[in-house]
Structure 1
Amino acid sequence: MMRAAKIMMTYLRKRYPWLFIILRIAAAVLGAPGFSFFRLLLEKLLF
């Protein structure tokens, strides 16, 4: 499951690099406690 997500993320990153810029900005702006788990999950998948 995690591998499939990683493959999908790699594909998305190649196709839509701007999407990840937006996601990173959103993660930085929404650095609230409720969002931190989601951000952690995103960072695990993306970086």
Structure 2
Amino acid sequence: MKFWTLAFSMKWVTAEALKGAVTTESNPFGEITPEQYKEITGIKFE
């Protein structure tokens, strides 16, 4: 999660692009959870 937090804070990745790293049923190999996504971006994952 530290990498994604840094990447988002340095604007290397947008909140929309970061959704691709979230573990979901359709993306079981994601690197962060929906809860971590909210911690990083401040936006609820949908």
Q: TM-score, normalised by structure 2?
A: 0.31
Where is the helix percentage greater, Structure 1 or Structure 2? 1
Q: Which has the higher contact order (CA 8 A, sep 6+)?
A: 1
Q: TM-score, normalised by structure 1?
A: 0.31
For the pair shown, the structure with the greater C-alpha radius of gyration is 1
